[in-house]
Chain A
């Protein structure tokens, strides 16, 4: 079992650009959640997808959007990037109470 995988590993973007991050869940998991972790902080919940729909959303602006595909993989899109969007973006997958995280995508906005 490959576990949760994310791509790319690192990404550098310029302010105002758009970015797409990808996540493949652990085999058999149907729920994908996205988190943002700023340096020195705990992860903050962005949103969660189940059955291709956004089921719950945290306190993030509409610039953050997502999608879940029929194979349960997911994308996180961020539009109009700001310097403050620089962070580690983590994807977690779950089937029951256990949420497993991927290695994350480090996004740097310059």
Chain B
């Protein structure tokens, strides 16, 4: 089955950039997502990228996709203490790759932002 790997922890200083990395095994993944989860809360969709794109920028967020290496990254510019949370990489796998097909998640990266 699909395997999605993330490093468990990342610590940065306020104002610096954060880069969260994700690797995956299924090259047929069509949509790749980043979600944010704060303590005791559900998942907030941050951004997503279609597999025919290499990069997507959305305000402070930049997503990079390297299909050859099966590597996805999320860069957060000017990281703030409010960005402290767990960040999940997720992929659409299975038939269709659009509104159907399950999301497969990594185990999450805990981002800690120090003042």
Identify the A interface with B (CB < 8 A).
4, 31, 33, 35, 40-45, 48, 50, 55-56, 58, 90, 92, 94-104
Contact = CB atoms under 8 A, between A and B. Distances in A.
A98 B45 contact: yes
A94 to B, nearest CB: 5
Contact of A45 (B41, B45, B104): B104
B22 to A, nearest CB: 11
A94 B99 contact: yes
Given A56-B101, A97-B31, A97-B98, A41 B107 contact: yes
Contacts of B99: 31, 50, 94-97
B98 A42 contact: no
A102 B102 contact: no
Q: Which of B4, B90, B99, B104: most chain A Cβ within 10 A? A: B99
B102 A33 contact: yes
B77 interface: no
Contact of A100 (B45, B50, B88, B105): B45
Contacts of A44: 105
Contacts of A55: 100
In the complex, the 4 A-B pairs of residues with the closest C-beta atoms, listed nearest first: A42-B105, A45-B102, A101-B43, A103-B42
